């Protein structure tokens, strides 16, 4: 049923078209948190009578417990909540509008929601690292044919690939953490863009919400989404890079190569060709990562033409941020599951270790070192022997074992054990950060008054 909201435009179609209410389900609880802390501040300042503040808190708490429902006819969750307060309490419910703008409240809510999602994503990436490291340790020196330009290049191990993906994931976690510091600051109390006359102590409000600081400038605090762009950009950069491994998997799963096996649950057959075992999970994950790039591009496209102060286009960018974070968490978990069941198909790898001269580079290096001839000459000599089908390669396993310089396949297992310990500690740290955030937020919603 359509009801005209507090600020209604008078047209149902227009309100439905411009409303963010459906998307606001994502920040419902967080919007209430911002309202609660704002109200606490108004009460402390003596701007709102204590009994009114208590009654308002009661309604907001109930709303938080019940969740968002209905709301057809409202521009957004902020208007919906204020209307609900006025409906239940009469004009007294209108106190919450004092010194508040939806602009500072929505920026606060997005940051609260995003910081939680970032911690959850950090947890998922840590689990992926755990899967990669354990799998690499178990696979040990199981050989793999490393390729460049999609051509057989050098012998390595599957573990070496997995540990490369682990290092990428560690680098991403550092970026995520630095973005977390950017996100975890409070815009609350900034008003629409230039502050308000009520004189809120913005530092105190930030502290109550467990933010580590304040976004100082009020126009920056309300009008900017740099924190969201920066986070989504780094997430998409990670997904793009990690997703390249899916292309290796797909290639290795081609029956012509069959270098690896995955758990059959990640393969699908064809409805017409009974012999097919298509890498369904890998393909869908790649597509989802492509979509994440689309969502990020949407954010850039929406933000680019806007002035510095708030414009309603910003509301439309937020949804894409949640999409990026959702795809990141889901993909990370799915990739971890694929990795846990990843096996080397040794006969196929051995077949191609014999079929292709993947120790040619090392043979030339050895020749250059042992005969003390310039490498270019050695390179030419090995190329000639390959052309004449006279190439006698080195033993691939010995080649892998023989390389001891940092980061080479055989050196990585010890480093994997060290990394696994770090990941365990990291998981505990993220868990305690999540708990701290939850405790602070529960305190705001459940606190006395």
Neighbouring CB atoms inside 10 A of 91's CB total 9
Give whichever of 82 and 124 is closer to ligand ARG, judged by the CB atom: 82
Give whichever of 301 and 438 is closer to ligand ARG, judged by the CB atom: 301
Give whichever of 27 and 131 is closer to ligand ARG, judged by the CB atom: 27
Give whichever of 315 and 331 is closer to ligand ARG, judged by the CB atom: 315
In the complex, what is the shortest distance from the CB of residue 59 to ligand ARG, in angstroms, rounded to a whole number? 20
User: Site residues (CB under 6 A) for ligand ARG?
Assistant: 20, 76, 102-103, 106, 310, 312, 314-315, 318
The angle that helices 226-253 and 313-340 make with each other, rounded to 10 degrees, is 30
Q: What is the DSSP letter of 270?
A: -
Instruction: Report the C-alpha dihedral over residues 415, 416, 418, 424, rounded to 10 degrees.
Output: 160
In the complex, what is the shortest distance from the CB of residue 254 to ligand ARG, in angstroms, rounded to a whole number? 46
Give whichever of 68 and 144 is closer to ligand ARG, judged by the CB atom: 68
Give whichever of 99 and 159 is closer to ligand ARG, judged by the CB atom: 99
The angle that helices 158-183 and 226-253 make with each other, rounded to 10 degrees, is 170
In the complex, what is the shortest distance from the CB of residue 85 to ligand ARG, in angstroms, rounded to a whole number? 17
In the complex, what is the shortest distance from the CB of residue 302 to ligand ARG, in angstroms, rounded to a whole number? 11
Question: Which one, of 176, 191, 128, 146, lies nearest residue 332 by Cα?
Answer: 128
Do 286 and 172 contact (CB within 8 A), yes or no?
A: no
Q: Give the span between the Cα atoms of 65 and 381, in whole angstroms.
A: 76
Indicate the burial class of 120 (C-beta count within 10 angstroms; 0-12, 13-18, 19 or more).
middle
In the complex, what is the shortest distance from the CB of residue 107 to ligand ARG, in angstroms, rounded to a whole number? 8
In 161-288, which ranges are E strands? Answer: 185-186, 213-214, 260-261
Give whichever of 19 and 156 is closer to ligand ARG, judged by the CB atom: 19
Do 164 and 411 contact (CB within 8 A), yes or no?
A: no
Residues whose CB is less than 8 angstroms from the CB of residue 160 and which lie 6 or more positions away in sequence, other chains included:
136, 144, 146, 409, 412
Give whichever of 77 and 242 is closer to ligand ARG, judged by the CB atom: 77
Give whichever of 5 and 409 is closer to ligand ARG, judged by the CB atom: 5
H/E element holding 155?
strand 151-157
In the complex, what is the shortest distance from the CB of residue 38 to ligand ARG, in angstroms, rounded to a whole number? 15
In the complex, what is the shortest distance from the CB of residue 224 to ligand ARG, in angstroms, rounded to a whole number? 12
Do 166 and 241 contact (CB within 8 A), yes or no?
A: no
Beta bridge partner(s), residue 261: 343
* Structural tokens at position 371: 């005969």
Q: Give the span between the Cα atoms of 339 and 342, in whole angstroms.
A: 5
Q: Give the span between the Cα atoms of 210 and 115, in whole angstroms.
A: 11
In the complex, what is the shortest distance from the CB of residue 108 to ligand ARG, in angstroms, rounded to a whole number? 11
In the complex, what is the shortest distance from the CB of residue 438 to ligand ARG, in angstroms, rounded to a whole number? 24
In the complex, what is the shortest distance from the CB of residue 114 to ligand ARG, in angstroms, rounded to a whole number? 13
The three-point CA angle 329-333-334 to 5° equals: 115
Residues whose CB is less than 8 angstroms from the CB of residue 202 and which lie 6 or more positions away in sequence, other chains included:
186, 188, 189, 190, 214
**Strand pairing report for 185-186 and 213-214:** parallel
Give whichever of 63 and 131 is closer to ligand ARG, judged by the CB atom: 63
């Amino acid at each position: 049923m359509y009801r005209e909201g507090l600020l209604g435009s008078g047209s149902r179609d227009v309100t439905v078209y411009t409303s963010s209410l459906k998307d606001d389900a994502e920040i419902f609880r967080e919007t209430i948190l911002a309202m609660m802390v704002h109200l606490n501040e108004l009460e402390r300042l003596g701007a709102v009578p204590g009994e009114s503040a208590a009654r308002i808190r009661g309604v907001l708490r109930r709303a938080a417990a019940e969740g968002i429902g209905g709301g057809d006819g409202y521009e957004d969750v902020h208007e919906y909540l204020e209307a609900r307060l006025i409906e239940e309490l009469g004009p007294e419910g209108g106190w919450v509008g004092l010194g508040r703008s939806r602009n500072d409240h929505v920026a606060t809510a997005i940051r609260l929601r995003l910081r939680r999602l970032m911690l959850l994503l950090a947890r998922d990436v840590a689990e992926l690292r755990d899967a990669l490291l354990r799998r690499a340790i178990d696979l040990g020196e199981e050989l793999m044919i490393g390729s460049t330009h999609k051509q057989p290049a050098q012998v390595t191990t599957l573990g070496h690939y997995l540990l490369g993906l682990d290092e990428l994931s560690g680098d991403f976690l550092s970026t995520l953490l630095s973005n977390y510091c950017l996100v975890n600051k409070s815009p609350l109390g900034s008003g629409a863009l230039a502050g308000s006359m009520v004189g809120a102590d913005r530092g105190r409000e930030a502290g109550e919400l467990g933010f580590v600081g304040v976004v100082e400038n009020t126009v920056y605090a309300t009008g900017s989404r740099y924190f969201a762009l920066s986070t989504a950009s780094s997430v998409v950069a990670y997904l793009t890079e990690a997703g390249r491994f899916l292309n290796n998997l797909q290639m290795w799963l081609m029956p012509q190569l069959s270098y690896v096996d995955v758990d059959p649950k990640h393969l699908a057959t064809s409805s017409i060709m009974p012999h097919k075992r298509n890498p369904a999970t890998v393909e869908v994950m790649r597509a989802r990562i492509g979509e994440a790039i689309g969502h990020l591009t949407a954010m850039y496209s929406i933000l680019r033409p806007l002035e510095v102060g708030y414009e309603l286009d910003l509301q439309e960018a937020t949804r894409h941020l949640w999409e990026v974070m959702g795809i990141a968490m889901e993909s990370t978990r799915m990739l971890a599951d694929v990795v846990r069941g990843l096996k080397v198909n040794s006969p196929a790898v051995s077949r191609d270790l014999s079929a292709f001269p993947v120790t040619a580079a090392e043979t030339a290096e050895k020749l250059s070192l042992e005969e003390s001839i310039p490498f270019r000459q050695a390179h030419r000599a090995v190329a000639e022997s390959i052309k004449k089908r006279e190439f006698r390669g080195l033993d691939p396993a010995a080649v892998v074992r023989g390389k001891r310089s940092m980061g080479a396949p055989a050196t990585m297992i010890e480093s994997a054990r060290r990394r696994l310990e770090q990941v365990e500690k990291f998981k505990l740290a993220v868990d305690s950060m999540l708990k701290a955030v939850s405790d602070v937020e529960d305190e705001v919603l459940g606190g006395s008054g």
